[in-house]
Every structure is written in structure tokens, then in C-alpha cells.
Amino acid sequence: MTGESRLGYRPNWGLPSMTPPEQTGAPVYAFDRVKVEPGTAEVKAVILVPYPQMMPIWAAEVGPGADLPMYEGSRAVGVGKVLWRRSAHYPPTDAEASHYDSWLAGGRGRTDDAAHGIVAQR
């Protein structure tokens, strides 16, 4: 499965400088499980920033430890804690997709600098 076919869930995110309900889009590449049920306490995900014009603000504000409110419309549905960040393509290359899949499956992989590995908490 290519990374492009996995980008089906497209929540919005609140960045640290944003005042709710201000938000920006960044789709989830994938979660660490097939189905995320309501009330799931913790789930790993990789999100990708698809808009080049948004990269400077994401790069300046979003790094390990940042908390990002996750929205569906105007409703906050969770919070993502950023664990790592790395440069990425949108859609991801096959090599990037392989790295993300490995990390989501429990591998370590390289974790340095616009994909973000997060733990989403409800």
C-alpha cells in the first residue's frame, strides 16, 4: 500500500500560536491500528503538512513535546503530542512511507526533522 492511498483522514490541528477555534489542515498518513474507536486512550499517528505555504509556521512552532489540538470541524476531538519531526514530501515517497509504516508498527526508524510522529490522546 502506498503512502498516497493511506491519507484518508483529514482532521485539522491547532498550532501553538493559534487561538481556538483557529486551525490548519494536515492529514493523517496513518495510525498504528486499523480502527481507532471513540474513547481510545492513546494511538500513534503520522501527520503530513500538505501546504507549502504553511511549512514555515509548522517548522517554527511544532517540534517534539508540542501539544496539538485535533479538530473535526469546530469540535476538538483529541490532542496530539509531537514525538518527532522530519522533512517529508506530500504525498510521501516510497522510502518515507516505509519509514512511517515501520515506526507505526513499533520500530524506531530515523526521527529528526514536515512529517510529525504524534501520540494522539482523547
pLDDT at 112: 45
Q: Are 69 and 81 in contact (CB under 8 A)?
A: no
Closest CA to 13 of 57, 72, 92: 72
Per-residue model confidence (pLDDT) at position 118: 63
Q: How many domains does the chain fold into?
A: 1
For the CA atoms of 121, 58, 27, 112, the dihedral, rounded to the nearest 10 degrees, stands at: -80
Domain that holds residue 90: 3-121
Cβ neighbours of residue 38 closer than 8 Å, sequence gap 6 or more: 122
Stretches where the chain sits below pLDDT 70 are 1-5, 108-116, 118-122
Report the pLDDT value the prediction gives residue 119, as an integer from 0 to 100: 54
Grid look-up 504524534 returns 118
pLDDT at 1: 34
**pTM, two decimal places:** 0.84
pLDDT of residue 41: 80
